[in-house]
Amino acid sequence: MTSAEPVDRAVPRYGVVGDPIAHSLSPVLHRAGYDALGISARYDAVRVPEGTLASYAAGLGPEWRGLSVTAPLKREALALATTVTERATLAGGANTLVRTADGWAADNTDLPGAVAAIRETYDGPAGVATIIGAGATAASTGLALADLGVRTIRLLAREPARAAETAAALARDTRLEVDVLPLDGAAVVGEIVVSTIPVAAQTDALVAATCGAAVVFEVVYDPWPSPIAAAAQERGQAVVSGLDLLVHQAVLQFAMFTGHNGPLETMRKAGEAALAAR
C-alpha cells in the first residue's frame, strides 16, 4: 500500500508476513474465501524482514485483525504474543496471530492443517514415518503426524548435527520416539514419508528410497510435481501436496480471523488456478 492510498478503517484487514513473501498464495486463498462468502475484508502480502515482526505489529492500526506468519518469522510471532496455544508452544513457532483486546493471540494451524490434508487422502494405519529434512516445517509436520497415530519418526538430515533443534521440538511430544540419521544412504521407513527439502536436493537415489511408503507428503507445491511427488504418482501411492497443507491451514486461519468457516474447495481451486498461471 502506498501512502497516497486511502485507508478505510471500517474494513477489517489481514495479511501474510514473511521474507521473501511475493510468492505467497495466501492472498489468493483468503480473498477467494471473502468473495465466496460476501465478506468485506482486505488481505495483503507484506514483506517483513527477520527481526522486525514485533515493531511491525506494534505499528498496525486497529483495522488489522489478524496475520498469517511464514518464514522466517514464526518464532518471533510466538515471542510477541500475549497468549499462545499449546500446539504453537509445542511446535516452537506460530503461523497465526489474531488480535484480541489484550494483544496478539498465537496459534499454529500447520499442525491440524497437516492432519486434515493427510486424512483427506489416506485413512489407513500410521505408526512409523520418515521425514526428509530437519527445518521448522519438519518439526510442525512431525508433531502433526503424532496426532495421526505415528509414534516413531526417522528424521533424515543433510547435516544431522544441525537437526538438534527440530529433534528437540519433536521430542517434547512424549508420544514420539525420534532418531536422526544422515540423509545420504539412510533407509526410508514407515507408512508415511514427508519431504521438506528443495527439489534440487531430490536425488534419484532418494526418490527411489520413498517407494515403500503408503503416503508421500511433499510440502513443496511450486514447482509441481517435484521428483519425489511425480514418482509417487506414477507408482500409485497416495500423494499429499504442499498446496493441500496450505489450503487446510488457511481454512482454519480464515475461521479464526472472520468467524466464518472457510470454503475449502473454493480456496483450493483458487490456489490451483494461481499455480497454473505461473
Residues involved in catalysis? 74
- pLDDT digits 0-9 by tens, 32-86: 999 999 999 999 999 999 999 999 999 999 999 999 999 999 999 999 999 999 9
What confidence score (pLDDT) does residue 10 get?
84
d(CA 245, CA 111): 9
Higher pLDDT, 251 or 3: 251
CB neighbours of 264 closer than 8 A, spacing ≥ 6?
Answer: 247, 248, 251
What confidence score (pLDDT) does residue 6 get?
52
Mapped onto helix, strand or coil, the DSSP state of residue 20 is: coil
pLDDT at 7 over 60: no
Q: Which of 4-18, 61-75, 140-154, 262-276 has the lowest mean pLDDT?
A: 4-18
DSSP 259: S
Omega into 225 within 30° of 0, i.e. cis? yes
Query: Looking at residues 144-165, what average pLDDT do you find?
Result: 94
Q: Where in the chain is CATH 3.40.50.10860?
A: 13-107+245-277
Selecting from 3.40.50.12280, 3.90.420.10, 3.40.50.300, 3.40.50.10860, what CATH number does the domain 13-107+245-277 have? 3.40.50.10860
pLDDT at 3 over 60: no
d(CA 16, CA 230): 29
- pLDDT digits 0-9 by tens, 184-229: 888 999 999 999 999 999 999 999 999 999 999 999 898 899 999 9
Omega into 263 within 30° of 0, i.e. cis? no
Residue with cell 527477520: 50
Q: What percent of the chain has pLDDT over 90?
A: 86
Higher pLDDT, 100 or 135: 100
Superfamily of domain 111-240 in the CATH hierarchy: NAD(P)-binding Rossmann-like Domain (3.40.50.720)
Four-residue CA torsion sign, 124, 125, 130, 135: positive
Confidence of residue 115 (pLDDT cuts 50, 70, 90): very high
Q: Where in the chain is CATH 3.40.50.720?
A: 111-240
The residue count for the chain: 278
CB neighbours of 205 closer than 8 A, spacing ≥ 6?
Answer: none
